[in-house]
Amino acid sequence: MSNNQDKPIYVFKGEALANYGFGDDHPFGLDRHDAFQVELAEAGLGDSIRYADTRRATVDELSLFHSADYIDFISKRSAEGTGFLDGGDTPAYPGIFETASDVAGTTLAAVDAVMNGDTTRAFSPIAGLHHAGREHAAGFCVFNDCGIAIEYLRKEYGLSRIAYVDIDAHHGDGVFYGFEDDPDLIFADLHEDGRFLYPGTGAVDETGTGAAAGTKLNIPMPPGAGDEEFDEAWQLVEAYIDNAEPEFIILQCGADSLEGDPITHLCYSEEAHALAARRLCKLADRHCGGRIVGTGGGGYNRRNLARAWTRVVQSFAEAQ
Ligand SMILES: [Zn+2]
């Protein structure tokens, strides 16, 4: 069991996070942060949560996952403030380097809060930018805060067995391919079948390469899958994580897997997210002193993201 059961859940909040987005006409707009924070405040969790401040990642921290050339490319595009960072999904805007660094740094602040023992569970809503690769932007994602956090946990805290669990509708390709041949990155991803949804990857036979062959879990879900299908598939994730005995868990809880998202076709309710959070807290208590960080990920229906992420934070609090 956790040694920190009386400590509040850290929830990261602030303008720096709210400012990561691509304008009002883009699915990843600037109103996502506040949509969640209003819902969370209304949930009345009181002293069981504590708001924490954002911080900006340094270039050295970004370099833990990304190449120097890529970081330099984003810096230049940010200064120019026009054009796209990828094939057309992720536009540049003035200052995108800084706001993307704020997202990444805040996920590292969540990791620090947990590793320092200030809390056992922490959540950052504007985070989980799982499509960014080591050398490229993709799918609204510039810097891959989860990938950076995994490398950071290894370098700063000497951990090796880190579990990454992703229930966003989209495959977490940036994390998967970033660690595809790394047997120590415990990876489980439930996502809409790539034959029907961006980015098209994450087939069931993608289990890792080289020394990591057979060690990773990709579970494609059929379009229209709901809570029943999620619960069934979740049993595989749970058994896999339990068996892998991680030292730290990162949950990417994208809310675009809920029914009514404008760009995907999965039909979970927010109870899928509550279930994942609750069960992962139990596994975290069993294997890693309760340590878990939740990252918001995708979600383009504001009501859905507000409810799903609030249920994740509630589940973290109830598990204390
Ligand atoms: Zn997504």
Give the sign of the dihedral formed by CA 196, CA 201, CA 205, CA 207: negative
pLDDT band at 5 (very low <50, low <70, confident <90, very high): low
Q: What is the CA(298)–ligand 1 centre distance, in A?
A: 4
Q: What is the CA(170)–ligand 1 centre distance, in A?
A: 4
Supply the pLDDT for residue 279: 98
Other residues' Cβ atoms within 10 Å of the Cβ of residue 232: 10
Supply the pLDDT for residue 320: 82
Other residues' Cβ atoms within 10 Å of the Cβ of residue 289: 18
Which of 316, 218, 214, 294 lies closest to 249, judged by CA? 294
| DSSP states along 16-75 | HHHT-S--TTSSS-TTHHHHHHHHHHHTT-GGGEEEE---PPPHHHHTTTS-HHHHHHHH
Separation CA 74–CA 169 (nearest Å): 26
Q: What is the CA(256)–ligand 1 centre distance, in A?
A: 6
Q: What is the CA(253)–ligand 1 centre distance, in A?
A: 9
Helix or strand run (H / E) with residue 318: helix 302-318
Q: What is the CA(71)–ligand 1 centre distance, in A?
A: 23
pLDDT at 1 over 60: no
Burial of 82 (0-12, 13-18, 19+ CB in 10 A): exposed
Residues 157-175: what's their mean pLDDT?
Answer: 98
Residues 200-217: what's their mean pLDDT?
Answer: 98
Q: What is the CA(168)–ligand 1 centre distance, in A?
A: 5
What is the layout of strands, in order, in the sheet containing 248-252? 49-52, 9-12, 121-124, 292-295, 248-252, 162-166, 185-192, 217-221
pLDDT at 60 over 70: yes
Active site amino acids? 131
Report the chain's mean pLDDT, rounded to a whole number.
96
- Alpha carbon 20 to its chain centroid, in Å, reads 15
Q: What is the CA(158)–ligand 1 centre distance, in A?
A: 30
Specify the higher pLDDT residue, 159 or 5: 159
pTM above 0.95, yes or no: yes
Q: What is the CA(219)–ligand 1 centre distance, in A?
A: 15
Written as six digits, the tokens of 104 are: 């990444």
Q: What is the CA(132)–ligand 1 centre distance, in A?
A: 12
pLDDT at 6 over 70: yes
Residues 61-75: what's their mean pLDDT?
Answer: 98
Q: What is the pLDDT of residues 215-261, one digit of tens each?
A: 999 999 999 999 999 999 999 999 999 999 999 999 999 999 999 99
Q: What is the CA(130)–ligand 1 centre distance, in A?
A: 8
Q: What is the CA(7)–ligand 1 centre distance, in A?
A: 31
Residues 283-295: what's their mean pLDDT?
Answer: 98
pLDDT band at 294 (very low <50, low <70, confident <90, very high): very high
pLDDT band at 3 (very low <50, low <70, confident <90, very high): very low
Supply the pLDDT for residue 130: 98
DSSP category for residue 298: -
pLDDT band at 2 (very low <50, low <70, confident <90, very high): very low
